[in-house]
Structure 1
Amino acid sequence: MGIADGNLFESMRLMLPEHTDVMTRLKREQQIKKKPILSQQKWEDIGYVISDAIEHQTSVCIQLFNSFEDEFLEGIPEARDGVLYLNINGDRKKVPFDRLIDVEAL
């Protein structure tokens, strides 16, 4: 029962700054996501989409894992010296494979 429910105790309770800091930290830790483990089939699908996009010079949307909110990048993939790059409006950005979750052809 919170303040909105008419709980008088909740509205009169005092919070020390130390308690507020601990509660904030605990809420943030609860929001942290764990990186999904991709199956062999998923890696093969990702490889197929990337190789097809490189061959035909088409755009892809790459999903990168982040502990709180995933990052999405759109561009044309390029492979140079065994490293995957994404060409985003003329700017080349290296794709970190350790954070790669999904790739979708556009």
Structure 2
Amino acid sequence: MGKKLEGNGLFESSRMMLPEHREQLVRRRDESGCRRRPSLDDQLLEQFALLLLESLEGHGEVAVGVFDPVRDDVVRGRVVQIDFTLRRIKMANDTETVSIRFADIVNVARV
């Protein structure tokens, strides 16, 4: 009982949200223009992986759609490296090299 009263223990042990507060948070997020990350099915993810591997092996260019809460960005270039441990791809074009997380990829297309 003593630990609950130390520091912020009393409030830490009683985390609860009223439905009215949750609705207000959802409404505020929707009004701010923030979007949710789309859920992609396994078949689509497999298609993205094949296109990225083809770009890595054949040095062909691809356009990768990158998720952002406000808007989607498109990065064009060729895949230089796929790092499965860090779950990132590295893309390069004439001007820059960009590292993109797997979780942020929402679309892949050939250029």
Q: How does 1:58-69 map to 2 (within 5 A)?
A: 58-69=60-71
Which structure features the higher share of helix residues? Answer: 1
- Aligned: 1:84 with 2:89: yes
Query: Which of 39, 48, 58 pairs up with 2:41?
Result: 39
Distance 2:34 2:75 in 1: 21
Shift, 1:28, TM fit: 6.9
Count of matched residue pairs: 81
Higher-Rg member (1/2): 1
Point out where structure 1 has 5 or more consecutive residues left out of the alignment.
Answer: 1-25
2:74 corresponds, among 72, 75, 78, to 72
Of 91, 101, 104 in structure 1, the residue corresponding to residue 106 of structure 2 is 101
C-alpha distance after superposition, 1:25-78 (max 9, x if no partner):
x59735221111010001100001001111110110000111111011000111
The secondary structure found in structure 2 opposite 1:67 is coil
Task: Compute the displacement of 1:80 (Å).
Answer: 5.2
3-state SS of paired residue (1:95)? strand
Distance 1:59 1:97 in 2: 18
When normalised by structure 1's length, the TM-score is 0.67
**SS at structure 2 position matched to 1:49:** helix
Gaps of 5+ in 2: 1-27
Change (3 A) 1:81 1:68: closer
Give the AA of the match of 1:98: A
TM-score norm. by structure 2 comes to 0.64
CA RMSD of aligned residues (A): 2.0
One of 49, 57, 60 as aligned partner of 1:55: 57
**% identity of equivalent residues:** 16
